[in-house]
Amino acid sequence: MDISTVGIVGAGQMGNGIAHVFALSGYQVLLNDISQDGLEKAVATIRKNLDRQVSREKISQDEMDATMGRITTTLALEDLGQCDLVIEAATEREEIKDAIFEKLQPHLKPTTILTSNTSSISITRLASRTDRPEKFMGFHFMNPVPVMQLVELIRGIATDEETYQTLLKVVESLGKVAASAEDFPGFIVNRILIPMINEAVYTLYEGVGSVTSIDQSLKLGANQPMGPLELADFIGLDTCLAIMNVLYDGLADTKYRPCPLLTKYVEAGWLGRKSKRGFYDYRGETPVPTR
Ligand code: CAA
């Protein structure tokens, strides 16, 4: 099936990055959010990130202008009904995602492929509540979307081969690489990455190292581009905790128990970069460790 129009639900960190890469690759993008302010901020972020690519000579000014011209925004979810592909990138709460699919469904073309950028919710379960489980898939991008090469493709139990093959081609057309994951909690990346972050928080909690020594150790000793605590702040501590809980509940193994210190930071509202405080304090010129 040919895809030319893409609807994206949710204009947050992931939604704006997904809109950016699809529009840059020539797709017509319709970006939806519940807040006009959210849509305006997303367009401003896309413009800033494209500008960065122009100044680093990754793309030309003409390509940037054409990309911006392919992005339209709407507050009306039903406007996405005529798209060939819909990517849900809203808040990581199952009841919100279910409500979006339910509201969208009566307006969809019969051929529209429905996907979720969920980082850990069961694709089979989300699909089962829609009218098209065979045309439903997990389509998981990594943050920052314009930079990260990987996209996880997750088939639900009912996903048909045509839908999977179509999305494989779409990923290729974005210049990215697909990894296929089975539909189990956390899929591949988060099954491995988030317990590593959780272990770094335990290492801090037990006083084995400070924020700085833990991050430096993994950056300089394991060649990771960001230390695990810096990365946790980047992903969002609430997201990290939510994923640990999905692993803990879904796999029923105590090795996935969330570190109490991670829970404490989330309860304090110290969610990382987005709230300006997490394992680092971002309110000044340079980030300062909070422990
Ligand atoms: N849009 C466009 N380009 C961007 C960008 C953005 N948002 N952010 C960074 N870039 C580009 C820069 O322009 C730069 O490009 P060039 O190499 O062409 O010059 C390049 O990315 C590197 O950026 P910087 O030099 O500014 O900074 P850096 O070298 O410190 O790299 C980073 C930044 C790419 C984010 C790097 O630190 C990194 O890879 N961090 C780890 C990210 C990671 O692990 N992400 C996965 C999170 S897990 C996830 O997403 C799954 C989930 O469900 C939770």
Do 33 and 158 belong to one domain?
yes
Q: Ligand 1 centre from 175 Cα, in Å?
A: 16
Do 205 and 246 belong to one domain?
yes
Helix axes 228-235, 211-222, angle to 10 degrees: 100
pLDDT of residue 1 exceeding 80, the answer is no
Q: Ligand 1 centre from 103 Cα, in Å?
A: 34
pLDDT in tens, 9-25: 999 999 999 999 999 99
Do 29 and 48 belong to one domain?
yes
Do 26 and 143 belong to one domain?
yes
Do 222 and 136 belong to one domain?
no
Domain range for 230 is 190-289
Instruction: Give the pLDDT of residue 254.
Output: 96
CATH code at position 114: 3.40.50.720
Mean pLDDT throughout 244-262?
96
Identify the residue whose C-alpha is closest to ligand 1 atom 34.
147
Question: Which of 129, 155, 181 lies at the terminal end of a domain, its last residue?
Answer: 181
Mean pLDDT throughout 62-66?
98
At 176, the amino acid letter reads K
Q: Is 190 in the pocket of ligand 1 (CB under 6 A)?
A: yes
Structurally, the chain folds into a number of domains equal to 2
Residues in the chain: 291
Do 23 and 99 belong to one domain?
yes
Do 274 and 198 belong to one domain?
yes
Query: For strand 85-88 and strand 5-9, is the pairing parallel, antiparallel, or unpaired?
Result: parallel
Q: What Å distances lie between residue 131 and 83, 123, 128, 136, 243, CA to CA?
A: 16, 14, 8, 9, 27
Best residue for ligand 1 mutational test, from 147, 176, 188, 274 (most atoms within 8 Å of Cβ): 147
Instruction: Give the pLDDT of residue 92.
Output: 87
Q: What Å distances lie between residue 186 and 54, 142, 248, 286, CA to CA?
A: 35, 13, 10, 32
Say how far apart CA 8 and CA 87 lie, in whole Å: 5
pTM for this entry: 0.94
Identify the residue whose C-alpha is closest to ligand 1 atom 36.
225
Q: Ligand 1 centre from 147 Cα, in Å?
A: 5
CATH code at position 249: 1.10.1040.10
Identify the residue whose C-alpha is closest to ligand 1 atom 21.
147
Mean pLDDT throughout 198-205?
98
Identify the residue whose C-alpha is closest to ligand 1 atom 35.
144
Question: Which of 181, 216, 248 lies at the terminal end of a domain, its last residue?
Answer: 181
Q: Ligand 1 centre from 229 Cα, in Å?
A: 16
pLDDT in tens, 148-199: 999 999 999 999 999 999 999 999 999 999 999 999 999 999 999 999 999 9
pLDDT in tens, 87-143: 999 988 899 999 999 999 999 999 999 999 999 899 999 999 999 999 999 999 999
DSSP letters, 12-66, are SHHHHHHHHHHHHTT-EEEEE-S-HHHHHHHHHHHHHHHHHHHHTTSS-HHHHHH
Dihedral angle over CA of 195, 197, 201, 203, nearest 10? 80
Do 175 and 222 belong to one domain?
no
Do 122 and 247 belong to one domain?
no
Question: Which of 181, 203, 237 lies at the terminal end of a domain, its last residue?
Answer: 181
pLDDT of residue 60 exceeding 90, the answer is yes
Residues 35 and 69: beta-carbon distance below 8 Å? no
Q: What Å distances lie between residue 196 and 160, 182, 190, 224, 272, CA to CA?
A: 33, 20, 9, 12, 17
